[in-house]
Amino acid sequence: MPHLTLEYTRNLDLDPEAALRNLNEEMYASGLFAEADIKSRAVALDHWRVGIADVPRAFAHVKVALLAGRPPEVRRALAERLLVALRAHCGAPDAREVQLCVETLEIDGPSYAKTAFAVDRAID
């Protein structure tokens, strides 16, 4: 834990590798997570729609799944921190309308299962 998913429209000027690295760094710098516990992935969207107007639009949406129990103000501060980091990876403004969002989701601890292992030992 945590799991970060970055969904973004392909028309957005975004380097997913660099964005994930920076988002992971920000999560670690928050002091809430151990470095090796942060897992992230990026999903490029080939098909999307924003609203109904025929104008060029793009978006990126970050979801961070956390074990339940952190106060709302801690989750909000994390979301704001990640939003600043995400904005830094979305290129210069152009004719597109761009929306960036970050949300935190709580995972019920009793229903979550995890194991971790290396070549010669368990690491969880």
Residue 116 is assigned to a structural domain of this protein: no
Look up the domain containing 83 and give its range: 3-111
Residue 124 is assigned to a structural domain of this protein: no
Length of the chain, please?
A: 124
pLDDT in tens, 13-65: 899 999 999 999 999 999 999 999 999 999 999 999 999 999 999 999 999 99
Number of domains in the chain: 1
Give the CATH number, domain containing residue 26.
Answer: 3.30.429.10
pLDDT in tens, 80-112: 999 999 999 987 667 789 999 999 999 988 778
Residue 17 is assigned to a structural domain of this protein: yes
Residue 107 is assigned to a structural domain of this protein: yes
Q: What angle do CA 120, 21, 97 make, to 5 degrees?
A: 145
> Which percentage of the chain shows pLDDT scores above 70?
95
pLDDT in tens, 107-121: 988 778 888 887 776
Say if pTM beats, i.e. exceeds, 0.85: yes
